[in-house]
A and B are shown apart, each in its own frame.
Chain A
Amino acid sequence: MATAAKFELTDDSVVVIVGTGAGGGVLANELAQKGVKVVALEAGGRYLPEDYVNDEWESFGQLAWTDPRTTSGDWRVAKDFSGLPAWIVKAVGGTSIHWAGASLRFQDHEWKALSTYGPVEGASLLDWPLDAAEMAPWYDKAEAKLGVTGVGGRARLPGSNNYKVFEKGALAVGYKEVHTGNMAINSADYDGRMACQQTGFCFQGCKWGAKWSTAYTDIPRGEATGNLEVRDHAHVARILHDDSGKVTGVEYFDKDGNLQMQKARLVAVAGNSFESPRLLLNSHSSMFPDGLANSSGQVGRNYMRHTTGSVYATFEQPVKMWRGTTMAGIIRDEARHDPSRGFVGGYELETLSLGLPFMAAFLDPGGWGREFTTALDSYANMAGMWIVGEDMPQTENRVTLSDTTDKFGLKVANVNFSDHPNDVAMRNHAYKQGQAIYKAVGATRTLPTPPYPSTHNLGTNRMSERREDGVVDRNGRAHDVPNLFVSDGSQFTTGAAENPTLTIVALAIRQADHIAREMAAGNV
């Protein structure tokens, strides 16, 4: 293996990528493979499968982003977890270490939410400037990279106990499209990674490397080209620009807390949907007083988190849902757009399990007394599923700069979120369906569980055809700044019903292609 590159701080020929998660990590590797020189700056440290721990809180302490954030709005997370609006990772590999691996393409109509659903009062819906046909080949590449099961000739995973309960109930209530999902988890050896051993700690980082994560795939492969340097414990504070309005580099705090300046030919921001807009807003200047790339005022707006919730149920006999792959199970029948249900858009139902410590924290945050504890007493007899549906973008659901500062003195993100009535109607429908599924297999008690701190964070630098409607264009390039790109889930115009990461990866592969071509042509 070639030794990883080292670039000078003054080297203004490099592409600087902020964040090394699903978006940034893939972009870094794809560019490096094409011979582009990349410096990837990552706020967190480096952890590999041998470092991950099969212990929920210990793993959380190791990997999670716990720097301060603040919250507002009427979502329950603002009350129960006011300092923890999202459950995401701060480490080389980003949240692709935590993620469960569910890898679904958008449905064709979901690229055109406004045209399909029509205007929805109170929602800032928009069509993506992309469509299903254009994205299809990029999805093919993304699925091959991740080794997604159930496509490309790859077998699906076997069903766990939790899945079997879910499947039986789903079929009993008449659902048709029920299977163990399209998972970025190997059902057989693939691409140098082994098959899933059903350890059941997918959220804590896969110690077998059976689940795809940039931490041990794209990042080391990019480094092996000699074109990628990853600097960990490098927290980007500001993006700098010249008098012509082009970006020239970034300032970051290194592992010793010293402020450094890395020059760049181009900057790509991939810090997840709170940190990316925070960075643009914190990069305000006399030329860009409202923040970088923000002439539209859209930076930080239209924050989406998917309409989520869980349904757990207890049974007479043991399920042991913690055994086996966490999320390999899906019902897709409700994913369609069918306004006769009382809402636009659709949702997926996916198996989910939490260990006892997280179950205690998330089953009914703030709950206590026997109503709560008798449910936990039946923990071994519990099955669980998660709701993930399209939520409505709203202009006031947004990330702004808080008065609170972090240890570097940088203003932190405040996350304001309130459900749209469409979100509430969808969640209630899903709770009802989820409970019916479990009752159909003899549930003794069903528990419609509120949303957790956000795991899917989208939309805060959204992609738009017209510059006044969003922050970036169809390639993720800032409408206002020709050499500034956004490469993570914050580009999402709308959220669709599907878990977002496959789409983030497909967009990053596509963007790498675009950037490399534009650089070769001398356009950036």
Chain B
Amino acid sequence: MTRLNKQGLTRRALLSRAVAAGALAVAGPGFIAAPDAAWAVEVTAISEHQMATLLQMARDIYPHDRVGDRFYAVAIKSYDVTEQKDMVAEGIAALDEAAKKAGFDTYIAAGWEDDRVAILRSIQDTPFFQTVRGGLVTGLYNQKDIWPIFGYEGESFSQGGYIDRGFDDIDWL
């Protein structure tokens, strides 16, 4: 099982493992893991339920079906610190409360994305939601390892730019 430390230099460790598929599971005290055990996130300051909820929230806020859970895990790992503990606890309690009003036991108990998104919409103006969403903008999309999934090629100077590598290679116009 891959361990993630609190400082969060987590990506390499996570990515050294096979691609995770399927939903997250609370895998036992101290960490949550993918069902196929391909990777795991250690939780230290917050609870497993809170971490699993944050992960599902991240997926529902910025759903990309070709982006594996492990990237979302990296993006929200920084909430697992003492300074964020209360904010996370309160935010997730409110989220689960909103889920109850909508007829679900908890937020992650709602099986369809549409139902979860409706719950998120009901809390989207709260500082908790905005903090999580705002953090994901860089936490998720600035991970170099997800860029190829979107086709983005990143740095090009070291390869001499695109002058000889297809800056004008469009062929379907």
With a cutoff of 8 Å between Cβ atoms, the chain B residues found around residue A319 in the complex are 170
- Interchain CB contact (< 8 A) of B150 among A54, A200, A316, A377: A377
Q: Decide: B152 and A355 in contact? CB cutoff 8 A.
A: yes
Residues of A within 8 A of B117 (CB): 369
**Contact flags A53-66 to B (C-beta < 8 A → 1, else 0):** 11101000000000
A376 touches B64 (CB 8 A): yes
> Which one, B12-20, B31-39, B76-84, B161-169, is touching chain A?
B161-169
Q: Interface code A176-209, partner B: CB below 8 Å = 1, 0 otherwise?
A: 0000000000000000000011111100000110
Query: Which residues of chain B are within 8 angstroms of A322 by Cβ–Cβ distance?
Result: 152-153
Q: How far is the CA of A357 from the CA of B66 in the complex (A)?
A: 17
What's the minimum C-beta distance from B53 to chain A, rounded to whole angstroms? 16
Task: Tell me which residues across on chain B come within 8 A of A324, comparing CB atoms.
Answer: 162, 167-168
- Closest CB of chain A to B143's CB: distance in Å? 9
Mark each residue of chain A from 156 to 168: 1 if its CB lies under 8 Å from any CB of chain B, else 0: 0011110011001
Measured CA separation A57–B163 after assembly (Å): 24
Complex interface residues of chain A between 353 and 377 (CB less than 8 A to chain B): 355-357, 360-361, 366, 368-370, 372-373, 376-377
- Cβ–Cβ < 8 Å partners of B169 in chain A: 161, 320
Beyond A361-B138, A373-B62, A380-B151, whether A161 also contacts B161 by CB under 8 A is no
Q: Considering only CB atoms and an 8 Å cut-off, how many residues of chain A contact the other chain?
A: 43
Contacts A197-B161, A368-B61 given; indicate if A57 touches B150 (C-beta within 8 A): no
Interface bracket on B: 35 or more
Residues of A within 8 A of B30 (CB): none
Known: A369-B63, A376-B150, A379-B150. A54 touches B156 (CB 8 A): yes
- Taking a contact as CB atoms closer than 8 A, the residue among B66, B124, B137, B157 that contacts A54 in the complex is B157
Q: Is the CB of A379 within 8 A of B154?
A: no
Q: Which residues of B (60-75) have their CB < 8 Å from a CB of A?
A: 60-64, 66
Q: Are A323 and B166 in contact (CB under 8 A)?
A: yes
Chain B residues with CB below 8 A from A316, complex form? 172
Please pick, from A55, A317, A368, the residue contacting B62 in the complex, using a CB distance under 8 A. A368
Chain A residue nearest to B141 (CB atoms) is A360
- A447 proximal to B (CB < 8 A): no
B18 CB to closest chain A CB (Å) equals 23
B167 near A323 with CB under 8 A, answer: yes
* Total residue contacts A-B, CB cutoff 8 A: 110
Name the distance in Å between B23's Cβ and chain A's nearest Cβ.
18
Does A318 touch B at the CB level, under 8 Å?
yes
Q: How far is the CA of A370 from the CA of B156 in the complex (A)?
A: 30
Q: How far is the CA of A368 from the CA of B135 in the complex (A)?
A: 12
Question: If the complex has contacts A198-B163, A356-B152, are A164 and B168 also in contact, measured as CB distance less than 8 A?
Answer: yes
Tell me the bound Cα distance from A317 to B151 in angstroms. Answer: 12
Interchain nearest-CB distance for B125 vs A (Å): 10
Beyond A158-B168, A200-B161, whether A164 also contacts B173 by CB under 8 A is yes
Q: Is the CB–CB distance between B152 and A323 below 8 Å?
A: no
In the complex, whether B133 has a CB less than 8 A from a CB of chain A is yes
CB neighbours of A366 from chain B (8 A):
133
B160 within 8 Å of A by Cβ? yes
Given A197-B163, A199-B161, A360-B141: A161 touches B170 (CB 8 Å cut-off): yes
Chain A residues with CB under 8 A of B165 = 323
Is residue B142 within 8 Å, beta carbon to beta carbon, of the partner chain?
yes
Q: Complex formed: what's the CA distance from A366 to B136 in Å?
A: 11
A299 to B173, CA, bound (A): 50
Q: Are A320 and B173 in contact (CB under 8 A)?
A: no
Contacts of A135 in B (CB 8 A): none
- Report A-chain residues with C-beta under 8 Å of the C-beta of B170: 161, 164-165, 318-320
Complex Cα distance, B81 from A447, in Å, reads 38
Cα(A370)–Cα(B63), bound, Å:
6
State the Cβ distance, A376 to closest chain B Cβ, in Å. 7
**A441 interface hit (Cβ, 8 Å):** yes
B89 to chain A, nearest CB (A): 23
Q: C-beta contact mask, A439-467 vs B, less than 8 Å → 1, else 0? A: 00100000000000000000000000000
Binary contact readout B116-127 vs A (1 if CB under 8 angstroms, 0 otherwise): 010000001000
C-alpha gap A53/B155 in the complex (Å): 8
Which residue from chain A places its CB closest to the CB of B61 in the assembled complex?
A368
- Binary contact readout B99-141 vs A (1 if CB under 8 angstroms, 0 otherwise): 0000000000000000001000000100000000100011011
Of the candidates A161, A165, A357, A376, which one forms a contact with B142 in the assembled complex, judged by CB atoms under 8 Å apart?
A357
Report whether B133 and A320 are in contact in the complex, using a CB–CB cutoff of 8 Å. no
Chain A neighbourhood of B156, CB < 8 A: 54, 199-201, 323
Q: Which listed residue, A320, A356, A368, touches B141 by the CB 8 Å rule?
A: A356
Given contacts A369-B61, A369-B63, contact A161 B154 (CB under 8 A): no
Using known A-B contacts A197-B160, A320-B166, A377-B64, determine if residue A54 contacts B154 with beta carbons closer than 8 Å: yes
* B150 and chain A: residue at smallest CB distance: A379
For chain A residues 371-389, which have a beta carbon within 8 Å of chain B? 372-373, 376-377, 379-380
- B contact residues vs A (CB 8 Å cutoff): 60-64, 66, 117, 124, 133, 137-138, 140-142, 147, 150-157, 160-163, 165-170, 172-173
Q: Which 9 A-B pairs have the closest CB atoms?
A: A380-B151, A197-B161, A324-B167, A199-B161, A360-B141, A54-B155, A198-B167, A356-B152, A323-B162
Can you list 14 A-B contacts with CB-CB less than 8 angstroms, sorted by A residue number? A54-B154, A55-B154, A55-B155, A161-B168, A168-B173, A197-B161, A208-B157, A208-B161, A323-B156, A355-B152, A357-B141, A360-B137, A379-B152, A380-B150
A355-B152, A373-B64, A376-B150 known; 15 other A-B pairs, CB under 8 Å?
A: A54-B156, A55-B155, A161-B169, A196-B163, A198-B163, A199-B157, A200-B156, A207-B157, A323-B165, A323-B167, A324-B162, A360-B140, A376-B64, A377-B66, A380-B150
